[in-house]
Amino acid sequence: MVAAYDPGPYLVRALESVQAQSMGSWELVVVDDGSHEDLAWVTEVDDRVRRVRQENAGVSVARNVGVASTSAPVVAFLDGDDEWLPGKLDAQLRVLDSDHSISMCDTAFEIIDAQGARIGRGYEGHHRSYEELLEGCGIGLSTVAVRREAFVSAGGFDPVYRLVQDWDLFLRIAKGARLHRVDEVLARYRLHGANATRDYMLALHEAVHLLQGHRLAAKAAGNEHAASAAGMGIHRARLLFGTQAFDQALANKRKPARLLVHLWRALRLNPRFVGQSLARKLGRRSGAGAPSA
């Protein structure tokens, strides 16, 4: 299913990638989350595509509505700016059909730019178990296929979270289930201006809140392994968003007030990274000005 709110030009490519699946028995629900864009055209793409229109309620509600609008035993998600490769659904269904103890299956993926050119490989680790996911989320939503019963039992997406709702869902599913990754690259995550400059401080706040809840629950249950993993996840989140704060500082170098705000956040969250980055920049500058031998 696809949740769409003013998706722009990428939705066409996303739908085409579903049509190109080697497995022909699929149903696609596009939940139009109160878009200003006219998305009535999606139903003309293919007889297997349906559009559900709702008042704008956010991506989590839209995804939950999309799942509830279908009856298939396996549900797969696709963001409107991402793409699937042709063998994705077929490969995942083979895994789920061969081992009924597996509740959720994701795939390796690659990152592409706004024009569709490959930037690099997607996340490598933190995808095999509940404890690994507590340390960090290495699963891309557009790579996921999950059994409906597991999705429903986990409670679906929680609208409380705006930026870590995927991670939250994966943790709840993984807590009592087996996960599996298809190592073949079968999805493409598009990085572009609209999704590259998210509110990193909100994302950090949500990540810490999410992981702290799991950490406290693990301690109460005597699960020191999970509690330690959640603590590591909080530490890693601070470092990650510290690097994003530094990137924002550099992006605002012509706006001193904003630069200082982002730089101060970066120094609080990841001072070592900031120090090393500034040292490299100063070293390059001094080297550039030195006379050649």
CB neighbours of residue 54 within 10 Å: 14
Q: What is the pLDDT of residue 196?
A: 53
The letter for the amino acid at 6 is D
Domain map (residue ranges) of the chain: 2-196, 200-287
Closest CA to 27 of 60, 1, 6: 1
Q: What is the pLDDT of residue 5?
A: 96
The pLDDT of residue 195 is above 70: no
**Which of 291 and 55 is assigned the larger pLDDT?**
55
Q: What is the pLDDT of residue 292?
A: 45
Q: What is the pLDDT of residue 293?
A: 40
The pLDDT of residue 183 is above 70: yes
CB neighbours of residue 228 within 10 Å: 16
Proportion of the chain in helix, strand, coil states, percent, rounded to 5 = 50, 15, 30
The pLDDT of residue 284 is above 80: no
The pLDDT of residue 92 is above 60: yes
The model's pTM: 0.93
Confidence of residue 10 (pLDDT cuts 50, 70, 90): very high
Spatial separation of the C-alpha atoms in residues 75 and 26, rounded to whole Å: 10
Q: What is the pLDDT of residue 86?
A: 98
Quickly count helices (H) and strands (E) in the chain: 11, 9
pLDDT tens by residue, 112-138? 999 999 999 998 889 999 999 999 999
pLDDT tens by residue, 38-57? 999 999 999 999 999 999 99
pLDDT tens by residue, 224-277? 999 999 999 999 999 999 999 999 999 999 999 999 999 999 999 999 999 999
2-196 fold: Spore Coat Polysaccharide Biosynthesis Protein SpsA; Chain A (3.90.550)
Three-class secondary structure of residue 207 per DSSP: helix
Looking at the DSSP assignment, which residues form a beta bridge with residue 185?
108
Spatial separation of the C-alpha atoms in residues 257 and 253, rounded to whole Å: 9
pLDDT tens by residue, 203-214? 999 999 999 999
Q: In the 8-state DSSP scheme, what is residue 45?
A: T
Q: What is the pLDDT of residue 288?
A: 57
